[in-house]
Amino acid sequence: MICYQNYTTKQEQEEVLELARKLNSLYLARGMEIIHSEEKVFLIWRNIAQVFDKPLLDVAKEDVEDAEFEAELNAKAMTCAERRERKAAHMGVSLEKYEGLFKHDILLLRREELSWLQSRTGERNKTLDKRIEQHTQSRGEWLCAKGMLKEEVPTQEQIAYVDALEKEVEALGDDVEKDIIAEVQRLENKLQLRELLKKRASTRKARTPRPVPFRRCDRARARAPRSVRRASFSMAGSSPGGGDDSGESDSGDPPGSKKHLPLSVLSSVTSPSNNNHCNHSLFCLSSWLVPGSCRMGSYSINSEGRRVA
């Protein structure tokens, strides 16, 4: 803090350092590596303010605003074309002028857009990343060799070597640029499809009515209460004939229960005038069709005259 007192006030120093921390946090949120500490960022902003004759606090605020705009743009943009247009509008220049800034290094712009799409979709092409790294190394080697030619009198072999490196870098750069364009188109299509499916799912969820939970009180009662039915059953079972003299069941009989035969019919079918086989069968029949017997059962008689459930 003491080394900055000749340039800014203490309050301004604290505000600028706070903006530097905010800038680094924005870079971390974008997945970028923090190169400089807050104090180093402070010094960079101070040098920019001195060069352009601007207040230090204004330079810091502009840089943070640009970083916030970049973060919002990266989160909402869907295509590289949309991203370029919005960045050009934010800078206050036309799209042609913005793209002209990368005229001598268009591959830098395409690599930046590829990195943005990879962070949005969460996908990386390892083969393409290796080719980009190879091109970066070849380009660095070419620039170093080209710089050495300016320091000393070059020989024809050195000049030919640098020219060969330049052609190799250009050819590799063209191939890498084509691969980046194809990968960018693929990731753009995937990003748009993902957003479309997300919107459809949200719309379908909003239109689908929520199921109403089942409640026992909502069920329509088709039968009498259990207590009433039990009382009617017990009264019918305790009556001498299980009902009236006509042989019909009481009102307490459950729906679909079988009716008993009249007592006169039972006495006639069990008379000794019938043959032995019939007497035996009907005797077995009368043994369980007597008045007052269980009304809930349903039986049949087999060939031997026995009841079968």
Measured distance CA(250)–CA(283) in Å, rounded: 26
pLDDT of the chain along its 309 residues, tens only?
434 444 567 888 888 888 988 888 887 777 666 667 888 888 888 889 889 898 988 999 999 999 899 989 999 999 999 999 999 999 999 999 999 999 888 999 999 999 999 989 999 999 999 999 999 999 999 999 888 888 778 888 889 999 999 999 999 999 999 999 999 999 999 999 998 998 888 777 776 666 655 555 555 555 555 555 555 555 555 555 444 444 444 444 555 444 444 544 444 444 444 444 444 444 444 444 444 444 444 556 666 666 665
Q: What is the pTM of this model?
A: 0.58
Q: What residue spans define the domains of the chain?
A: 1-76, 106-202, 260-290+302-309
Strand partners, 308: 300
Say which DSSP state 218 is in: G
The DSSP element (H or E) to which 308 belongs, if any, is strand 307-308
Residue 72 C-alpha from the chain's centroid:
21
The pLDDT assigned to 303 comes to 64
CA 22, 24, 26, 28 torsion-angle sign: negative
Q: Are 94 and 87 in contact (CB under 8 A)?
A: no
Residue with tokens 């009382």: 231
Phi-psi region of 231 (alpha: psi -120 to 50; beta: other; left: phi over 0): alpha
The pLDDT assigned to 152 comes to 78
Rg from Cα positions in the chain: 47
CA 17, 19, 24, 29 torsion-angle sign: positive
